[in-house]
Chain A
Amino acid sequence: MSTFNLPDVGEGLTEAEIVGWKVKPGDTVVVNQVFVEIETAKSLVELPSPYAGVVKELHAAEGETLAVGSPLFSVDEVGSRPAPMANVPEVADIAEADTPVASEEPGPLVGSGPKADAVKRRARTNRPAPTRPAKAPGVQGSAPAIPAALADTISRRAAELGHASTRLTAAAKPAVAAFVDRVLAKPPVRKVAKELGVDLAQVTGTGGQGEITRDDVFSYKAQREAERDAAPMFWSAKGQEVDGRVVRTPVRGIRKATAKAMVESAFTAPHVSIFVDVDASRTMEYVARLKKSRDFEGIKVSPLLVLAKAVIWAAARNPSVNASWVETENGAEIQVKHFMNLGIAAATPRGLLVPNIKEAQDLSMRELAIALNDLAETARAGKTSPADMTGGTLTVTNIGVLGIDTGTPIINPGEVAIVAFGTIRQKPWVVDGQVVPRWITTLGGSFDHRVVDGDLSARFMADVASIMQEPALLLD
Chain B
Amino acid sequence: MTNTVHEPSEQALIQLLTPEGERRSHAEYDSYIQDIDAEMLRGFYRDMALTRRFDQEATALQRQGQLALWVPLRGQEAAQIGSGRATRPNDYIFPTYREHGVALTRNVDFPQMLRIFRGISNGGWDPRENNFHMYTMVLAAQMPHATGYAMGVQRDQAGWDAERLEKDGTAVVAYFGDGSSTEGEVHESMVFAASFNSPVVFFCQNNQWAISVPFHVQSKVPLAERAAGYGFPGIRVDGNDVLAVLAVTRWALERARRGEGPVLIEAVTYRMSAHTTADDPTKYRMSADEEAWLERDPLLRLEKHLKDNQLADEVFFKQVAVDGDEMATRVREEALAFPDPSLAQSFANVYAEAHPLIQEELKWHLEYEAGFADTTEEGATR
Whether the pair B372, A135 counts as a contact (CB closer than 8 A) is no
Contact A122 B373 (CB under 8 A): yes
**How many A-B contacts are there with CB distance less than 8 Å?**
176
A138 CB contact (under 8 Å) in B6, B119, B337 = B337
Q: Tell me if B60 and A44 are in contact (CB < 8 A).
A: no
A interface with B by C-beta (< 8 Å): 4-5, 7-11, 31-32, 42-50, 105-106, 108-112, 115, 117, 122-133, 135, 137-144, 151-152, 155-156, 159, 162, 173, 175, 178-179, 182, 184-187, 190, 209, 211, 288-289, 291-292, 294
Contacts of A144 in B (CB 8 A): 336
Say yes or no for B379: interface residue by CB 8 A criterion.
yes
Using known A-B contacts A151-B329, A190-B283, determine if residue A109 contacts B69 with beta carbons closer than 8 Å: no
Q: Contact between B279 and A42 (Cβ–Cβ < 8 Å)?
A: yes
If A10-B278, A137-B339 touch, whether A159 touches B321 (CB-CB below 8 Å) is yes
Q: Which 3 interchain pairs have the tightest Cβ spacing?
A: A43-B280, A108-B65, A7-B65
A residues less than 8 Å from B67 (CB atoms): 109-110
Known: A122-B374, A137-B376, A138-B337. A7 touches B278 (CB 8 A): no
Contacts of A162 in B (CB 8 A): 56
Closest to A104 in B: B382
Q: How many B residues, CB 8 Å from partner?
A: 60
A125-B291 in contact given A105-B336, A143-B332, A190-B283 (Cβ < 8 Å): no
Contact of A127 among B333, B370, B374 (CB under 8 A): B370
Q: Which residue of A lies closest to B291 (CB)?
A: A175
The one of B288, B332, B370 in contact with A179, judged by C-beta atoms closer than 8 angstroms, is B288
A/B interface sample: 24 pairs, CB < 8 A: A4-B64, A9-B62, A11-B69, A32-B57, A43-B282, A43-B283, A49-B64, A105-B336, A106-B66, A108-B65, A110-B65, A122-B372, A122-B374, A128-B370, A133-B375, A133-B377, A135-B380, A137-B339, A143-B336, A155-B329, A178-B287, A182-B282, A291-B286, A292-B292
- Distance in Å from the Cβ of A66 to the closest Cβ of chain B? 13
Compute how far the CA of A312 lies from the CA of B98 in the bound complex, rounded to whole angstroms: 52
Contact B329 A125 (CB under 8 A): no
Map CB proximity to A onto B50-77 as digits: 1 under 8 Å, 0 otherwise: 0001001100101111111100000000
- The chain B residue with its CB closest to the CB of A6 is B65
Q: Considering the chains assembled together, what is the distance between the CA atoms of A292 and B287 in angstroms?
A: 10
| Bound CA–CA A140/B374 (angstroms) | 14
- Do residues A128 and B367 form an inter-chain contact, with CB atoms below 8 A? yes
| With A42-B278, A106-B66, A137-B379 already in contact, 15 other A-B pairs whose C-beta atoms are closer than 8 Å | A11-B69, A43-B274, A109-B66, A109-B67, A109-B68, A123-B372, A128-B367, A133-B380, A159-B53, A173-B287, A178-B282, A186-B212, A187-B212, A288-B286, A294-B6
Within 8 A of A (CB), among B290-321: 291-292, 321
